[in-house]
A and B are shown apart, each in its own frame.
Chain A
Amino acid sequence: MAWIMKNSAGMTVPRRTEPYLDDELKAKLEAEVMPRYPTRQAATLPVLHALQDKHGWLPFQAMEEASAFLGTKPSEVADTASFYEMFHLQPKGKYVIWVCQSISCELRGEHDIVKAIEKKLGVETGQTTPDGKFSLMHAECLGSCGSGPCALVNDKLFEDLTPANIQQALDSLP
């Protein structure tokens, strides 16, 4: 829910010396992404995507570095990042499983898929397995309603799921 704000008063930001947005990534973004837009702020989403692809989530320090790069305030980057479902402001598992829970998929048996995954991983929706391998999430329509139930595991889509084939699919992930 995009409009629920986080309690930030008195929060301390954990820091490390090594930057998240390193020179190599900066140079790549500067060459490939920045020239596409008339303002630097417009590159916020691509920059956040690049940071998350690299680190798996978006620590506050990474957002601060992004804001310095984009010439905006850190709060503006945090504002944008916290609005979008796909940006993780907390660490997530190596594989993030997004099961579509919208209507076409529910009609074709989404509940059974979620139950099968919860049983297999021993976690509930919204949680990460203790070994940090899987996070199970609910998603709204993934745009493959014709091959539901479906789930996105990181950037790969699994379609026509059954309780059996989703278990196999998860087993096959390294």
Chain B
Amino acid sequence: MPLNQPVLTKRIPTPPWGDPRDRKTVSYEQFVATGGYVGLKKALAMEPKAVIDLIKASELRGRGGAGFPAGMKWSFLPPEDGKPRYLAVNADESEPGTFKDRMLIDFDPHLLLEGIAICMHACRLDVAYIYIRGEYHQQAVTLNNAVKEAYANGIFGENSILGRIADRWPQCHVHRGAGAYICGEETGLLESLEGKRGWPRIKPPFPAVAGAFGRPTIINNVETLAMCGPILDFGVDWFKSMGKGRGENVPPSVPASFGPKLIGVSGHINRPGVYEENLGVSVKTMIEDYCGGMWKGKKFKAAVPGGISMGVLGTAEYEAELDFDIGKKYSCLGLGTAGVIVMDEDTNMVSVARNIARFFAHESCGQCTPCREGSGWIYQLLCRIEAGDGTTRDLDLLLELAGSMGAMPGTTICGLADGTNWAVRTIVNKFWDDFEKVCKKSNTISLPVVG
């Protein structure tokens, strides 16, 4: 069943409810006139802990990539000690194929600010930093204007409706990055916020215990926070009536995929853009019902489900459901950001792999050898294969190299290398013929690889 009303896109004209050409930035007045900040008022009438419990009960999962339950994250904070505690809003959005947070910031920035205020109240955080990627010049201006409006209307600053938090008036600031994908990784973001290079930290300690400036810090994605206002306003049952939910006889301890999701679709389709649908909608529905079908009437070949770190879906996986279980079901890394990249029958998957490997080689921060050296090596191998100079042995090497890197195999500090790993392995495995076709048979016999 399609979503029966727009939630995050309530004020952002989006098909089937509106025309993207009518999109305009919603001001504070317009936001309030259309039911904005009601969720915040309801939150303020509740004890902070009750707000956390409510978000927990809604089973809202992070929209920034990992799908970690937001309410659970919020409950990891240590007890208050009167010293500063921070909220770092992740607006670094740099994963190829992902452009959803930008839409929220461009057109409905107060929806994000409402979520920020709710989180600050619930978690007792007195300063929020919105870490926005440096390339989002215009968006930083829009956001700064909205923050100014929010201060002027008593959301933040002196006499804020949040009241004093740890005896200080709550503050919200926009902090611009300067062009580094790795600053989207939560601890890379914190390092960058502290004025250093964006080198991810070894965990533990986790940010909830020792984050920005060594103090307890919550890090959430823009879309995750934007979802909080509507949940507070319309309730847990309303939120859980949307999305995939839990199958029958599945115990409540198994995480499910409730709620609506922004899905950005790009690549070989007729109407690329950001749409809103229930979690669990299929790739096929997105392409055919929302995106006007495949570009130039070509056939579907492959799709990235949620940003290139997640790997690819094969030609036979056209009907894959976009929910948090997609990884297990279709052997990819996960839903990621739900930034779907569609590729048609003429696409050369060797070139796709080469492009993606270059991204990771370029964006590796360089701390961990498997990621720094491995990604560059993989990129060179793929360039060679693309040029027609590869051998089938190179393909084995490619898979071995890719499979060895990442935080999941335990060889690197952060998840960037897992992205390299999954992207390369799934493309090569699912489109083996594309690669084998352009590779010569190896004329040396390789020793069997042990382990």
List the interface of chain A (C-beta within 8 A of B): 1-3, 36, 38-39, 41-46, 48-49, 70, 72, 76, 79-80, 83-87, 98, 101-104, 106-108, 139-148, 152, 155-157
Among the interface residues A84, A101, A107, A157, which one has the most CB atoms of the partner chain B within 10 A? A107
Which 7 residue pairs across A and B have the least CB separation, nearest first? A3-B366, A44-B195, A85-B179, A155-B137, A84-B178, A83-B197, A86-B179
Chain A residues with Cβ below 8 Å from B98 are: 141, 143, 145
| Minimum CB–CB distance for A125 against chain B, Å | 13
Q: Which of A45, A141, A146 contacts B195 (CB 8 A)?
A: A45
| Minimum CB–CB distance for B24 against chain A, Å | 17
On whether A103 and B355 interact (CB within 8 A), knowing A46-B176, A83-B198, the answer reads yes
Starting from the known contacts A144-B99, A144-B102, 7 additional A-B residue pairs (CB-CB under 8 Å) come to: A45-B175, A46-B175, A84-B134, A84-B197, A85-B178, A106-B351, A143-B133
When the two chains form their complex, are residues A147 and B272 in contact, meaning their CB atoms are under 8 A apart?
yes
Count of interface residues, chain B, beta-carbon cutoff 8 Å? 61
Chain B residues with Cβ below 8 Å from A103 are: 96-97, 267, 304, 308, 341, 352, 355-356, 359
| Minimum CB–CB distance for B107 against chain A, Å | 14
Which residue of chain A is the closest to B131 with respect to CB atoms?
Answer: A45
Return 5 A-B CB contacts under 8 Å, by A number. Answer: A1-B362, A46-B176, A101-B355, A103-B304, A107-B347
Q: How far is the CA of A63 from the CA of B45 in the complex (A)?
A: 48
On whether A143 and B93 interact (CB within 8 A), knowing A2-B197, A45-B192, the answer reads yes
Chain A residues with Cβ below 8 Å from B343 are: 107
Chain A residues with Cβ below 8 Å from B367 are: 3
| Minimum CB–CB distance for B177 against chain A, Å | 7
Q: Which of B178, B351, B356, B372 contacts A86 (CB 8 A)?
A: B178
Chain B residues with Cβ below 8 Å from A3 are: 364-367, 372
Interface of B, secondary structure class, is mixed
Which residue of chain A is the closest to B272 with respect to CB atoms?
Answer: A146
Chain A residues with Cβ below 8 Å from B358 are: 101
Among the interface residues A70, A79, A103, A147, which one has the most CB atoms of the partner chain B within 10 A? A103
When the two chains form their complex, are residues A48 and B138 in contact, meaning their CB atoms are under 8 A apart?
no
Q: Which of A36, A42, A86, A106 contacts B135 (CB 8 A)?
A: A86
Q: Does B406 contact A (CB under 8 A)?
A: no
Chain A residues with Cβ below 8 Å from B361 are: 1
Q: How far is the CA of A46 from the CA of B140 in the complex (A)?
A: 12
Q: How far is the CA of A98 from the CA of B372 in the complex (A)?
A: 24
Chain A residues with Cβ below 8 Å from B180 are: 2, 83-85
Chain B residues with Cβ below 8 Å from A79 are: 196-197
Chain A residues with Cβ below 8 Å from B364 are: 1, 3
Which residue of chain A is the closest to B83 with respect to CB atoms?
Answer: A38
Which residue of chain B is the closest to A5 with respect to CB atoms?
Answer: B366
On whether A141 and B176 interact (CB within 8 A), knowing A2-B366, A102-B355, the answer reads no
When the two chains form their complex, are residues B272 and A145 in contact, meaning their CB atoms are under 8 A apart?
yes
Q: How far is the CA of A139 from the CA of B134 in the complex (A)?
A: 12
Q: Does B273 contact A (CB under 8 A)?
A: yes
When the two chains form their complex, are residues A39 and B213 in contact, meaning their CB atoms are under 8 A apart?
yes
Q: Does B439 contact A (CB under 8 A)?
A: no
Q: Does B339 contact A (CB under 8 A)?
A: yes
When the two chains form their complex, are residues B178 and A87 in contact, meaning their CB atoms are under 8 A apart?
yes
When the two chains form their complex, are residues A102 and B359 in contact, meaning their CB atoms are under 8 A apart?
yes
Chain B residues with Cβ below 8 Å from A49 are: 134, 176, 178
| Minimum CB–CB distance for A97 against chain B, Å | 13
When the two chains form their complex, are residues A146 and B273 in contact, meaning their CB atoms are under 8 A apart?
yes
When the two chains form their complex, are residues A48 and B365 in contact, meaning their CB atoms are under 8 A apart?
no
